[in-house]
C-alpha cells in the first residue's frame, strides 16, 4: 500500500527565507507526483506536476525535485513571502491505480512578516 509522508508537519519562517519541504513515498512505482497548496477552508491549488521520468520542475520561486528510486521529492520555495503561508500537500499517482491521488498529511507553512 502506498504511503506518503511529509516532513515537517509545520514550519514557521521569517519573510525572505529560502525553505525546503520534504515528501517521501513508500512505493517507487509512481506515474507522477504533484505539489498542491491549500489555504484554510479552501480547495487545492496545483503548484507543480512532475512526471516519473523527470527530475525537477520549476515555476517562479518554486522548484520541485523528484528522486523516484529513493522515493523522495522536495519543494523548494525561494525568498518566502507572507502570502506563501498555507498548507502544502504532495500527492502521487501510482501506475496501477491510474487516477487515484495518494496524499501526504501536508506541511503547514507560516511565513512571518
Partner 1 sequence: KAGVTQTPRYLIKTRGQQVTLSCSPISGHRSVSWYQQTPGQGLQFLFEYFSETQRNKGNFPGRFSGRQFSNSRSEMNVSTLELGDSALYLCASSLLTAQETQYFGPGTRLLVL
Interacting residues with partner 1 (CB under 8 A): 31-32, 34, 36, 41-46, 49, 89, 91, 93, 97-106
Q: Which CB atom, from 13 or from 44, has the smaller least distance to partner 1? A: 44
* Exposed/middle/buried for residue 4 (C-beta within 10 Å: 0-12, 13-18, 19+): buried
Q: Which CB atom, from 30 or from 80, has the smaller least distance to partner 1? A: 30
Q: Which CB atom, from 89 or from 109, has the smaller least distance to partner 1? A: 89
Please state the closest distance from residue 49 (CB atom) to partner 1, in A: 5
Amino acid at each position: 500500500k502506498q504511503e506518503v509522508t511529509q516532513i515537517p508537519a509545520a514550519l514557521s519562517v521569517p519573510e525572505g527565507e529560502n525553505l525546503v519541504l520534504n515528501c517521501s513515498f513508500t512505493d517507487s512505482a509512481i506515474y507522477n507526483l504533484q505539489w498542491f497548496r491549500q489555504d484554510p477552508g479552501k480547495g487545492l491549488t496545483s503548484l507543480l506536476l512532475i512526471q516519473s521520468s523527470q527530475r525537477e520542475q520549476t515555476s517562479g520561486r518554486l522548484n520541485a525535485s523528484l528522486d523516484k528510486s529513493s522515493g523522495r521529492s522536495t519543494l523548494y520555495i525561494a525568498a518566502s513571502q507572507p502570502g506563501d503561508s498555507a498548507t502544502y500537500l504532495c500527492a502521487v499517482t501510482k501506475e496501477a491505480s491510474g487516477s487515484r491521488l495518494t496524499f501526504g498529511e501536508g506541511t503547514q507553512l507560516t511565513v512571518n512578516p
